[in-house]
Amino acid sequence: MDNFFQTWTPRLLSALRLVAGLLFVEHGTAKLLHFPHVDMFDSLQLFSLLGFAGALELVGGALVAVGLFTRPAAFILSGEMAAAYFMAHAPQNFYPVLNGGEGAILFCFIFLYLAAAGGGEWSLDRWLRPGAKL
């Protein structure tokens, strides 16, 4: 059983990284490219706090999804989600289930984990490392 977990743990880390990155890309495209369309982003200005967040989500999410510069990108995105939680959610209510902040908290800690763990077995970071065998 240990062999099974040793084999699949780095691969599932890559799957977590890919899914989290793609979900973040979707947040960025909703803000900046209006796809999928979200009404509250119709009048979003690029040089606003939400516009900056959208740029981080689009570029950072893409980097995390493909596993390129995973650690620094994930660290920045973790900080973005911590800031989003404390600026937008926490002032509404103490409890995350009541302030709608569960997603921000989860993204914050998933990205913090990725910043520490790296991109995993299926990442460009690993592929570009000298002497890497895929």
Q: Taking the domains of the chain in order of start, what are their residue ranges?
A: 2-128
DSSP 130: T
**Cα–Cα nearest to 101, from 88, 114, 118:** 88
- Asked whether the predicted pLDDT for residue 134 surpasses 60, the reply is no
Which amino acid, one-letter code, is at 1? M
Task: Specify the pLDDT at position 123.
Answer: 96
Q: What is the pLDDT of residues 7-36, one digit of tens each?
A: 999 999 999 999 999 999 999 999 999 999
Please provide the average confidence, as pLDDT, over all residues in the chain: 95
3-state secondary structure of 89: helix
**Cα–Cα nearest to 13, from 134, 116, 83:** 116
Task: Specify the pLDDT at position 23.
Answer: 98
Task: Specify the pLDDT at position 43.
Answer: 94
Percent of the chain with pLDDT over 90: 94
Q: What is the pLDDT of residues 61-71, one digit of tens each?
A: 999 999 999 99
Task: Specify the pLDDT at position 51.
Answer: 97
Strand (E) or helix (H) holding 126: helix 124-128
Q: 3-state SS of 52-88?
A: HHHHHHHHHHHHHHHCCCHHHHHHHHHHHHHHHHHHH
Task: Specify the pLDDT at position 132.
Answer: 63
- Can you list the pairs that 29-33 forms with residues at least 24 positions away whose Cβ atoms lie under 8 Å? 29/58, 30/54, 31/57, 31/58, 32/58
Inter-residue contact 85 to 104 (CB < 8 Å): yes
